[in-house]
Amino acid sequence: MTKHDDITALILAAGYSSRMGRFKPLLPLGPITVLERTVQLFRDAGIDDVRVVVGYRAQDLVPLMRRLGVRWSVNEHFQEGMLSSIKAGLHTLEASKKAFFLLPVDIPLVRPGTVIDLLHACGKHDADVLYPCFRGKRGHPPLIDAALHSGILSWSSEGGLRSFLEQHQNRAVNVEVADEHILLDMDTPAQYEDMCRRLKHDEILSSDKCQ
């Protein structure tokens, strides 16, 4: 598998999980946790440089992150929203990085093949942002060129990262993928239970295909 040492994956895991009522990064999803699954999907796609931004209950995640061998940064201002976590992660990136993925930890069922599709598209398009799309609808994780790094760090307008990226629509490309999981997050217990069912069904199908 091709390795992409000049690309980083940033996993955002700093929030309260207030709507879920349980701490999302450590919830089981199959035999591993939600955080482990998000880390693994990038590594399975050839992205070894996976970094996690933590905040709420950061110390509870340290043993797992050490075992996974990922770098992490602590967002001391996670109460201010996701943009603050994105900035905390971007502050750790070296100048040698040419692009980065962004994935909230509560979107854990993205297929590694989707990340690979975005990496292939990166070599074909002169774009600042590549969005995975399922049936024309954008999802996660976007692949963002390092050219936008400083602009994101200085952005403070309402609307967070979304409003910043809207200023760069002329430099964005949609990449159609066969992966509806790019649109599915788990904010509530019902959504989490749905993901568990989807994962079990998907693993059964994968097993059948191998027989």
Length of the chain, please?
A: 211
Confidence band (pLDDT; 50, 70, 90) for 210? Answer: very low
* pTM metric for this prediction: 0.93
Q: Average pLDDT in the 126-151 region?
A: 97
Q: Does 126 have pLDDT greater than 80?
A: yes
Q: Average pLDDT in the 15-33 region?
A: 93
Q: Average pLDDT in the 6-23 region?
A: 94
3-state secondary structure of 197: helix
Contact by Cβ (8 Å): 97, 27: no
Q: Give pLDDT, residue 203.
A: 63
Q: Average pLDDT in the 160-167 region?
A: 95
Q: Does 36 have pLDDT greater than 50?
A: yes
Using CA atoms, how far apart are residues 123 and 128, in angstroms rounded to an integer?
Answer: 12
- Tokens standing for residue 47: 């992205």
Q: Give pLDDT, residue 123.
A: 85
Q: Give pLDDT, residue 205.
A: 44
The DSSP output letter for 71 is: E
The DSSP output letter for 10 is: E
- Residue with tokens 């509530």, as numbered in its chain: 188
Type of residue numbered 109: L
Q: Give φ, ψ of 75 to 5 degrees.
A: -90, 105
Q: Which helix (H) or strand (E) holds 133?
A: strand 129-134
CATH class of 7-210: alpha beta
Tens digits of per-residue pLDDT, 51-76?
999 999 999 999 999 999 999 999 99
Q: Give pLDDT, residue 207.
A: 37
Residue 185 CA, distance from chain mean position: 11
Q: Average pLDDT in the 138-149 region?
A: 97
Report domain extents, the chain: 7-210
Name the nearest CA neighbour of 197 among 11, 29, 57: 29
Task: Please report which residue ranges of the chain form alpha helices under DSSP H.
Answer: 34-43, 58-68, 82-90, 112-122, 149-154, 160-166, 189-210
Contact by Cβ (8 Å): 185, 191: yes
Most distant CA atoms of the chain, gap in Å:
53
Using CA atoms, how far apart are residues 47 and 97, in angstroms rounded to an integer?
Answer: 12
User: Could you tell me which residues are beta bridge partners of residue 145?
Assistant: 99
Q: Give pLDDT, residue 1.
A: 64
Q: Does 206 have pLDDT greater than 80?
A: no
Using CA atoms, how far apart are residues 155 and 70, in angstroms rounded to an integer?
Answer: 27
Q: Give φ, ψ of 166 to 5 degrees.
A: -65, -25
Q: Give pLDDT, residue 21.
A: 87
3-state secondary structure of 13: strand
